[in-house]
Amino acid sequence: MSVEPIPSWPGELIELGERSVHVRSTPPGPTETAVYVHGLAGSATNWTDLMGELSDVVTGHAIDLPGSGYSPEPPGGDYSVGAHAGTVAALIKRVATGPVHLFGNSLGGAVSVRVAATRPELVRSLTLISPALPDLLPRYGPARVALSAVPRLGEWAATQLAALPAERRLNATLAMCYADLGRLHPERLREAAEELRRRDGLPYAAAALVGSARGIVAEYFRRGAENLWRQAARVTAPTLVVHGRHDRLVNPRMAARAGRTFPHVRLVLLPDAGHVAQMELPGRVAREARRLIGETAPVPIGND
């Protein structure tokens, strides 16, 4: 804890047709490009440390999904996984001239699967960290998310939560996401609390949270060709799936189904990680991602 963490990467607002999104990027340099997609109630800053670890092999772009972070609410208030996937696809076409290394955590994992399945020409490799894919036996956390999808109940719950001090809400969320809160640097906690207080002042913050939660729940009940597991089976990009054994939100046993479903997949179970391994253990996640990038990049990438 004596070493100060790197600051958040600088960001800018990018116009994508009718949508505007805020994107944080590492300095340009490497020819390979990575795009990072955060989870529910997260933001681009969830990727700060992993982006730093990989900045020598990929130029990274982390998106604030519409309504999250510094991104404005989307036109029509559409927070569905499909709408988010469309936004990510548009960003990829904007920041890269070829396919990218796509990273997704939790909700961002579901979004990334849809992008990789429906726009295979945009994705060179796919790294999923505790992806929120449909589970018939969801854990306590996803069950709470499901309750937020109930009409009016979700809005009421969001209003009640907003009345609590930011630090109290943040500590409860982080305790759910981390296996060991001792790994969280005080500066990261300060940054997160500051961000939460800023978002409390946004008129669309509650709608964005509830809308994205409902988007996840809708995917759990989706049937047919657009079911996320059916789409996972169509992903052609080499895939890395990382789970934390102490994940309280996405059951790590889902790794077994991922291993049976994705055509070209490698599974990694981190025995001492929770739901946000890229934040909790960025060095270890980076080593696994670096291996995948090296295997799929069109030019050799060193391991130094």
* Confidence check: pLDDT of 295 > 50: yes
CA dist 178 and 94 (Å) reads 33
**Cβ–Cβ < 8 Å for 237, 209:** no
Place of tokens 């929770």: 274
Taking the C-alpha atoms of 103, 104, 108 and 113 in order, what is their torsion angle to the nearest 10 degrees? 90
* Confidence check: pLDDT of 69 > 90: yes
Rounded to an integer, the average pLDDT of 62-84 is 96
Taking the C-alpha atoms of 80, 161, 105 and 184 in order, what is their torsion angle to the nearest 10 degrees? 160
* Confidence check: pLDDT of 154 > 50: no
pLDDT per position as a tens digit, 231-253: 999 999 999 999 999 999 999 99
pLDDT per position as a tens digit, 74-88: 999 999 999 999 999
Per DSSP, which regions of the chain are E strands? 11-16, 19-25, 33-37, 59-64, 100-105, 123-129, 239-244, 265-270
CA dist 175 and 198 (Å) reads 21
Q: How many residues does the chain have?
A: 304
* Reported confidence tier of residue 304, pLDDT bands at 50, 70, 90: very low
Q: How high is the pLDDT of residue 87? A: 98
